[in-house]
């Protein structure tokens, strides 16, 4: 079964929904306009129940099939944008300075709305589809907030499924794998205190720029020399702040960064070694350093059975040769991981074509991908819960 004809016929309508969302990006939990638009459409489609304010600004629609019983599947799309100045020049470009949909969440929301519309019309399944529109995926752990608000228990969800567009993959293709698919994403703040002084008298100071530079270099050796070469890990320092003029050695410095891993063991190792390395290097230079290490999103771990099922559905939509069931894991983070900790399920990548990368000011979701993503959602429900 390829792309659903009715879905393909509605491409222009669904794309218009996306363009409206794209013009009005909202960040984190402040997605009030987006959530209201989603709830309004779900009501117009005829959802059996609509719940708002779950996880602060999340929206949930309940669609019951034509027959009772069956599973309860949770289908999740994210709604929030990013604090990036758009540089696409598109007629539907962001109207809000400093904010844009640079990760395609506008497309994710529109595709799930398209699926909800079709499922409400046809009801060609025996069970319940729960369409979940989540805020704050971009660093705010909106998935966890919705779970903490009782999402799973309130709607008796058996399995969760998620999807993300992927630039560089052809439109109409999918990629997935069982087990770890996306990395745990942790954050670190490193505060260094030395001895400030005149730049012409460095021997009377403890230079926090030198100390910070040494810490940056030493941290890179954790992956190179402490992590098994057959494992995956990332340690990246992404911010270095120190000083305010050219003739003063700064008293303090601040480093920030991220650690990524695919297993609990490597996650523990990174946290432990970061703290040891920072403390040791600071002491070596006669400085003091403190580390604040925050564990954010866990590893996205796909259930093997749910992954096999997702592969079969994607192949029904895209064709046998356009679904990669053994994708290489990526070190990006995704808070859908919290949902997969709560219930089994699977997260899948969908091709966005030859576009700018995610989180780039020139990125745009590819409307040509809409029929494939929307059809995947519909087929997932109908295949899992045949009427």
Please tell me what DSSP assigns to residue 22: H
Sequence ranges of the domains in the chain: 5-182+299-384, 184-297
Q: What angle do CA 302, 306, 310 make, to 5 degrees?
A: 100
Instruction: Please give the pLDDT value at position 46.
Output: 98
Instruction: Please give the pLDDT value at position 67.
Output: 85
Distance CA(110)–CA(101), nearest Å, equals: 13
The topology (CATH level 3) of 184-297 is Alpha-Beta Plaits (3.30.70)
Buried b / exposed e over 3-41, threshold 16 CB at 10 Å, is bbebbeebbeebbebbbebbbbbbbbbbbeebbebbbeb
CATH class for the region spanning 5-182+299-384: alpha beta
Instruction: Please give the pLDDT value at position 1.
Output: 58
Q: Are strands 233-242 and 252-261 parallel, antiparallel or unpaired?
A: antiparallel
**Helix, strand or coil, per DSSP, at residue 286:** coil
Distance CA(31)–CA(80), nearest Å, equals: 7
Instruction: Please give the pLDDT value at position 68.
Output: 79
Taking the CB of residue 106, how many other CB atoms lie within 10 A of it?
Answer: 29
pLDDT, tens digit (0-9, with 9 covering 90-100), for 269-322: 999 999 999 999 999 999 999 999 999 999 999 999 999 999 999 999 999 999
Q: What angle do CA 173, 178, 181 make, to 5 degrees?
A: 75
* CB neighbour list of residue 79: distance below 8 Å, 6 or more residues apart: 21, 26, 31, 34, 35, 38, 105, 108, 109, 133, 134, 135
Evaluate if pTM is beyond 0.85.
yes
Distance CA(310)–CA(313), nearest Å, equals: 5
Residues recognised as catalytic = 80, 137
Q: Which residues pair with 195 in a beta bridge?
A: 206
46: left (phi over 0), alpha (psi -120 to 50) or beta: left
Instruction: Please give the pLDDT value at position 125.
Output: 97
Residues of the chain under the 50 pLDDT cut: none
High-pLDDT (> 90) share of the chain, %? 98
């Amino acid at each position: 079964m390829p792309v659903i004809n009715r879905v393909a016929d509605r491409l222009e309508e669904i794309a218009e929904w996306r363009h409206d969302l794209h013009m009005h990006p909202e960040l984190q939990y402040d997605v009030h306009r987006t959530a209201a638009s989603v709830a309004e459409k779900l009501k117009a489609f005829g959802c059996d129940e609509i719940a708002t304010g779950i996880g602060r600004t999340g929206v949930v629609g309940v669609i019951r099939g034509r027959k009772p019983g069956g599973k309860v599947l949770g289908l999740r799309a994210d709604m929030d944008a990013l604090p990036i100045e758009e540089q696409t020049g598109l007629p539907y470009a962001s109207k809000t300075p400093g904010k844009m949909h640079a990760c395609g969440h506008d497309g994710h929301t529109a595709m799930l709305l398209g699926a909800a519309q079709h499922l409400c019309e046809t009801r060609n399944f025996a069970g319940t589809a729960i369409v979940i529109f989540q805020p704050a995926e971009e660093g705010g752990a909106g998935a966890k907030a919705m779970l903490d608000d009782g999402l799973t228990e309130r709607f008796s969800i058996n399995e969760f499924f998620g999807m993300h567009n992927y630039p560089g993959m052809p439109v109409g293709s999918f990629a997935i794998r069982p087990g770890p698919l996306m990395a745990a994403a942790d954050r670190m703040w490193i505060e260094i205190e030395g001895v400030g002084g005149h730049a012409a008298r460095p021997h009377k100071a403890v230079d926090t720029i030198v100390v910070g530079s040494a810490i940056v270099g030493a941290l890179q050796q954790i992956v190179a020399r402490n992590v098994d070469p057959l494992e995956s890990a990332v340690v990246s320092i992404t911010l270095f702040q120190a000083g305010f003029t050219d003739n003063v050695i700064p008293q303090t410095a601040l480093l920030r960064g991220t650690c990524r891993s695919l297993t609990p063991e490597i996650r523990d190792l990174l946290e432990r070694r970061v703290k040891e390395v920072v403390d040791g290097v600071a002491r070596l230079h006669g400085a003091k350093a403190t580390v604040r290490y925050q564990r954010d999103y866990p590893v996205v771990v796909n259930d093997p059975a749910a992954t096999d099922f997702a592969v079969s559905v994607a192949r029904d939509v895209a064709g046998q040769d356009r679904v990669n069931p053994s994708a290489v894991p990526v070190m990006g983070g995704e808070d859908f991981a919290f949902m997969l900790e709560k219930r089994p399920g699977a997260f899948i990548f969908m091709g966005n074509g030859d576009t700018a990368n995610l989180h780039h000011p020139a990125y745009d979701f590819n409307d040509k991908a809409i029929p494939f993503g929307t059809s995947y959602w519909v087929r997932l429900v109908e295949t899992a819960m045949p009427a």
